[in-house]
Amino acid sequence: MNSLTTPILELRHVSRQFGTQHVLRDISLAVHPGETLVIIGESGCGKSVTMKLLMALLKPTSGEVLWNGNPVQQLNEREISTRRLKYGYLFQGAALFDSMNVFENVAFGLRQNTNLKEDQILDIVVQRLHEVGLSEDVCGKKPAELSGGMKKRVGLARALALDPRVMFFDEPTTGLDPIMSDVINELIFRTGQRDVTNVVVTHDMRTVERIADKVIMFFPLARLDDHQEQIIFRGTKDELFACEETQVSQFVRGEAGARIEELHAA
């Protein structure tokens, strides 16, 4: 990855509020082609909102979102929808369509957005399922018949079906046992090896250790003074695990520390 290349995704001085609630304040970050950016931080600090801003699913209250150096606000809705087809999204709960079987779920985007024939769609669906470690035997199953790990893998196969340039992962290992978490981490790592740019929101330090090129840590805005930056860490995963700044190190190690004192004082 070349840090001198134009970022494929960028936020410039972005703030976002919902009514009177301020969630993000003056956030600037860049994601370069081919890299895996992992966003960490406590619940409620704006990680998922940041991801939705990067995808233009939300608009910033102030600041700019850029795709390949171009401000998204200068694109019309049709242009945004067309460009977003090159983005894949694995939702926290996989978000499969309950009324559709596995084949129909993975084929959905191909049927909606391409003119491929059914035999071509079949080939792509089977290929993507194989890539996430599933055989075509699962094609007729409904989501209710799948384990949590299988649902995540089907969701990933669906996201990869349109051959995205960028993949977004929202808490990809939440609710999974350690073995299946490692399976999902390995699949995300392999996705990055295909020159796909990854943006991952997670609390799982094993995910960070396995896949991250760059890590950004957010802190809840409500617990910051006006002059404090909301991004309290930027760097590599090695730098993250070596960081001795209290708020960062306690989160990485899963230590309650000062947070317990804050809760008692509240």
- Residue pLDDT tens, the chain, 266 long: 455 689 999 999 999 999 999 999 999 999 999 999 999 999 889 999 999 999 999 999 999 999 999 999 999 999 998 898 899 988 776 788 899 999 999 999 999 989 999 999 999 999 999 998 899 999 999 999 998 889 989 999 999 999 999 999 999 988 888 998 998 899 899 888 888 999 999 999 999 999 999 999 999 998 888 889 999 999 999 999 999 999 999 999 887 655 555 544 55
Environment class of 259 (CB within 10 Å of its CB; exposed 0-12, middle 13-18, buried 19+): middle
Residues 254 and 178 in one domain: yes
For residue 226, give Cα distances in angstroms to 25, 26, 49, 117, 223. 9, 11, 20, 56, 10
Position 114, amino acid: T
Residues 238 and 211 in one domain: yes
- In this prediction, residue 85 carries a pLDDT of 87
Last residue of a domain, one of 163, 186, 208: 163
Residues 153 and 65 in one domain: no
Overall domain count for the chain: 2
For residue 73, give Cα distances in angstroms to 27, 86, 232. 17, 18, 28
Residues 190 and 217 in one domain: yes
Quick check: is 140 in a domain? Answer: yes
Last residue of a domain, one of 133, 163, 193: 163
Residues 143 and 81 in one domain: no
Residues 75 and 13 in one domain: yes
Quick check: is 1 in a domain? Answer: no
Contacts of 108-112 spanning 24+ positions with Cβ under 8 A:
108/158, 109/85, 109/158, 109/161, 109/162, 110/161, 110/162
Cα-Cα-Cα-Cα dihedral of 48, 51, 53, 56, to 10°?
A: -120
Quick check: is 3 in a domain? Answer: no
CATH code of 73's domain: 3.40.50.300
Q: How large is the greatest C-alpha to C-alpha distance in the chain, in angstroms?
A: 63
Last residue of a domain, one of 116, 139, 163: 163
Print the domain residue range for 145. 98-163
Residue 49, token pair as written in the block: 């909102």
CA-nearest of 251, 232, 161, 210 to 36 is 210
Residues 13 and 49 in one domain: yes
Answer for the pair 40, 216: CB distance below 8 angstroms, yes or no. Answer: yes
For residue 95, give Cα distances in angstroms to 7, 89, 129, 152. 29, 10, 17, 9
Instruction: Using alpha carbons only, give the angle 152, 153, 157 rounded to the nearest 5 degrees.
Output: 120
Residues 135 and 249 in one domain: no
Residues 255 and 187 in one domain: yes
Residues 30 and 120 in one domain: no
Quick check: is 26 in a domain? Answer: yes
CA-nearest of 127, 126, 172, 122 to 151 is 172
Residues 77 and 203 in one domain: yes
